[in-house]
Amino acid sequence: MQQEIDGLRADCLSKLEAATTTRDVEDVKVRFLGRKGPVQDLMKRLRDLDSDARRAAGKDINTLKQELETSCDARYEALHSKEQASRLEAERLDVTLPGRRGYPGRKHLVSATLDEILDAFVEMGFSIQTGPDVETDYYNFEALNFAPDHPARDMQDTFYITDDVLLRTHTSNTQVRVMESSRPPIRVVAPGRCYRNETITARSHVFFTQVEGFYIDRDVSFADLMGTIDEFLKRIFGRDVVIRCRNSYFPFVEPGMEVDIRCSLCQGKGCNMCKKSGWVEVLGSGMIHPEVLKNGGIDPEEFSGFAWGMGVERIVNIKHRVHDIRLLSENDMRFHEQFHAV
């Protein structure tokens, strides 16, 4: 039995020597000292010895067991600290390395400009509401005083979905919708996308963004309209903006006008941006037609109001000198990156 004990010791120690990971050590330990291992086996065979031999052999086996346990634990510890050291090394972070640059998304120039426009009106006491892109003929035309055979319908080439349903051609569709669901005083701005069946060129597109606005209350006057538009344009284009109003026709306002600002590129001398006129058109507006108020359930004898509508891409075009609006709906990052500070 003594020989077997020595043999086991040598075998176990050499296997420990060969172990390269803590996992190997655990395997060796289980194999030699586990319940079904050879050391346990020797213990069982003590029964067959007489009492003196049993006592001597029992002592030797216990010593062997302790020795092997100690050796296993020592080897485990040694390998464990080596493994930990190499893991720490592998996971080391060099905090002095320059950081990796992220590329966060940014607002599109049209969205950023729209936000600027809405902020200006919200500060002036307007609230924001929106209407649907897919609209009925009624809200887009009829309720706005375009008679069925009114020639003004031809002013806007419309994408029809059915005879009666269309893609809105302007955000003016929100006017009567809002009137139907609220009582004066009403101060609303309504942004949204509009659609027209137009040839796509540098200046026109099949979709674009508008902001509609209207104010309805007792005694709202043309002077209120002028004051509001004037203040808004100063907020957007700067206090020294020069404004010009021209008489114009829209079926849903009376009187109607178009508002121009003096061309900021040539200071009114005439250039390509202003088509040599020295002025660029920024919005349409007017006093809301009594018929339109009636359609919205508002008594024109008691209330009056003004409305306006403007194209956001047009404002972008003037403010940022983007002369081809097709660039805005294409995804050339060389174009968009120029406006990241905006």
Distance CA 270, CA 276 (A): 4
Q: How far is the CB of 288 from ligand DAH (least distance, A)?
A: 7
Q: Which is nearer to ligand DAH, 39 or 117 (CB)?
A: 117
Distance CA 302, CA 317 (A): 40
Distance CA 30, CA 225 (A): 91
* 3-class DSSP state of 238: coil
Identify the residue among 172, 174, 209, 264 touching ligand DAH (CB under 6 A).
172
| 191 contacts ligand DAH (rule: CB under 6 A) | no
| 317 contacts ligand DAH (rule: CB under 6 A) | no
| 307 contacts ligand DAH (rule: CB under 6 A) | yes
Determine contact, residues 121/213, Cβ cutoff 8 Å: yes
Q: How far is the CB of 171 from ligand DAH (least distance, A)?
A: 7
With both helix axes pointing from N to C terminus, report the angle between 222-237 and 109-123 in degrees, rounded to the nearest 10: 130
**Cis peptide before 255, with omega less than 30 degrees from 0?**
yes
| 39 contacts ligand DAH (rule: CB under 6 A) | no
Identify the residue among 309, 312, 315, 318 touching ligand DAH (CB under 6 A).
309
For ligand DAH, which stretch binds (CB under 6 A), given 32-40, 105-113, 279-287, 293-301? 279-287
Determine contact, residues 191/180, Cβ cutoff 8 Å: no
| 308 contacts ligand DAH (rule: CB under 6 A) | yes
Determine contact, residues 261/282, Cβ cutoff 8 Å: yes
Edge-to-edge strands, sheet with 207-217: 127-128, 186-195, 207-217, 304-311, 279-288, 253-262, 243-248
Interacting residues with ligand DAH between 151 and 170 (CB under 6 A) = 170
Identify the residue among 131, 286, 296, 305 touching ligand DAH (CB under 6 A).
286
What character string, x for contact with ligand DAH (CB under 6 A) and - otherwise, covers 108-147? ----------------------------------------
Q: How far is the CB of 96 from ligand DAH (least distance, A)?
A: 58
Q: How far is the CB of 284 from ligand DAH (least distance, A)?
A: 3
**The residue type at 298:** I
Neighbours of 171 (CB within 10 A): 24
Q: Which is nearer to ligand DAH, 137 or 212 (CB)?
A: 212
| Residue 160 DSSP symbol | B
Neighbours of 261 (CB within 10 A): 20
Q: Which is nearer to ligand DAH, 38 or 251 (CB)?
A: 251
| 250 contacts ligand DAH (rule: CB under 6 A) | yes
**Sites of contact with ligand DAH (CB under 6 A):** 170, 172, 212, 250, 253, 256, 284-286, 307-309
